[in-house]
Amino acid sequence: MAKYADSGNISSMAGETVTVRGWVQDTRNLGGISFVTLRDRNSTIQITLPKKKIEPTLFETLTKVSRESVVSVTGEVKESNQTALGVELIPSACEVISEAATPLPLGVVDKVNVEMDTRLNSRFMDLRKPEVRAVFEIRSMATALIHEYMIANGFVNVATPKINAAGAEGGATLFKVDYFGKPAFLAQSPQLFKQMLMSTGLDRVYEIGPAFRAEHSNTTRHVTEFTSWDGEFCWIEKEEDVMDEIEKAVRYIIKGINERCARQLQILGKEAIEVSAEPFPKLTYSECLKIVQAKGLNLADGADLGTDGEKLVGDYMAEKGFPLYFICEYPEEEKPFYIMEKDGTPYSFSFDLDYKGQEISSGGQREHRYDRLLARMEKKGLNPDDFEDYLAAFKFGMPPHGGFGIGIDRFIEKMLDLPNVREAVLFPRDLNRLYP
Ligand code: ATP
């Protein structure tokens, strides 16, 4: 039996007889000679069929097989200065392993603009395009780099429950499920659990897991199921300690992608992911308000910056050469109950990390003092009885702590300049999409 080769190693096999496997991307019949382009995970291999030298049924099979069929082809590797790999395969046998039906739901190489919805409806076919696959190969590496960074920096990887009883952070965006006849809810974030862990001695934890939000807004930045990278750690003195940790982690990931994903970046037309040499700037919310007001957006003091405000700040920071920057000291009214207030001011020890004009992360110093936490819950109109298990962890010795949550989907979207967060999700879920 001939040995297997693929587009990654066939260039060094001239003179050998090998078997290659993949998808028939294209067939060109030029009379006396035909070419079949076989695609595998990395690239394409040219199969050359000089009509007179190829056994007729083999010629017929390979030149007539439908596009995107999966085939296995055995033949001799010959040097060629006409192909990108420097070799071509002259076939002596082939097997059609899985014939593709026609017509295809979506072209793989056709240069026509197809709506994102059409692509997502046939995502398996869409993913056969190298530029679509490259996004997920980079995302995979980003995830590996997060694990690397977090473990190397003393964080313990945890998994918290995604099905919970009532009493999560907020009601509006909760998905309700039937849990053996009782109501339960899908987790919006691991927030309460990772904070409870802060009282245990597992004092640096992280999690990469799904988060569910019943978002009723149909935007380019919201999906109903996203992947959250959460970190929480004790013994911080100020929220800046959390910002510094995120910055180090984000820099590590971007550097790692630049070093390890050169091929995928090239497919996406990028040399490298840019990151500022200087530290990520830390703008206060009040400074941002002035920036957006100067750009003509009339936001009242205390108002949410919103998509438009964030975008204007992004434009302002882009001019200064900063794709990534923090926005800190948000009004406490804008932030959840677990964030620590900045006493004597209307602000809080919280921040967002924005990437090219879009929030990708929020975090801050948490309120670890039991009485103050209760007071904040009451101020937010929450009933402490609904948070009994969470509060218990604060009653018996809770260190000062802080943390962050980054949406990996938005991180990848912005890193790769994708026009929509859905482009960074394999099978996105949103207001209108529950399949495939
Ligand atoms: P936004 O204001 O943009 O809706 P948020 O304030 O609800 O975001 P947080 O609750 O602070 O977001 O969540 C932290 C991070 O989780 C966000 O910065 C984002 O990266 C991610 N995230 C939150 N909701 C979604 C969503 N619906 N789709 C994709 N990512 C999300």
pLDDT tens string 1-24: 789 999 999 999 999 999 999 999
Q: How far apart are CA 275 and CA 322, in angstroms?
A: 7
Annotated catalytic residue within 410, 413, 422, 423: 410
**Is 362 tagged catalytic?**
yes
- Residue with the smallest CA separation from ligand 1 atom 25 is 222
- Ligand 1 atom at minimum distance from 352 CA: 18
Inter-axis angle of helices 130-152 and 408-415, to 10 degrees? Answer: 120
Look at ligand 1, atom 9, and give the residue with the nearest C-alpha: 362
pLDDT of residue 217: 84
pLDDT tier, 111 (very low <50, low <70, confident <90, very high otherwise): confident
Ligand 1 centroid – CA 404 distance (Å): 11
Residue 247 known to be catalytic = no
- pLDDT above 80: residue 169: no
> Contact 151/127 with Cβ under 8 angstroms?
no
Instruction: Tell whether the model's pLDDT for residue 171 goes beyond 70.
Output: no
- Beta strands (DSSP E) in 235-346 are 282-284, 324-328
Q: In 20-122, which residue ranges form alpha helices assigned H by DSSP? A: 56-64, 116-121
- CA distance linking residue 173 with residue 152, whole number of Å: 35
- The string of pLDDT tens digits covering residues 190-236 is 999 999 999 999 999 999 999 999 988 899 999 999 999 999 999 99
88 labelled catalytic: no
For ligand 1, atom 16, name the residue with the nearest CA: 407
Q: How far is the CA of 344 from the centre of ligand 1 (A)?
A: 28
Q: Which long-range contacts (CB under 8 A, 24 or more apart) does 47-53 make?
A: 47/20, 47/73, 47/75, 47/88, 47/89, 47/90, 47/91, 48/78, 48/80, 48/88, 48/89, 48/90, 49/90, 49/91, 50/90, 53/90
> What length is written for the chain?
436
Q: How many CB atoms lie within 10 A of CB 354?
A: 27
Q: State which ligand 1 atom lies nearest to the alpha carbon of 410.
A: 20
Q: What pTM, to 2 d.p., does this model score?
A: 0.96
358 lines ligand 1 (CB under 6 A): no
The pLDDT, as a whole number, for residue 167 is 53
Of 39, 119, 128, 213, catalytic = 213
Please tell me the distance between residue 407's alpha carbon and the centre of ligand 1 in angstroms: 7
DSSP string of 331-347, one letter each residue: BGGGS-TTBPB-TTSSB
DSSP-assigned beta bridge partners for residue 45: 38
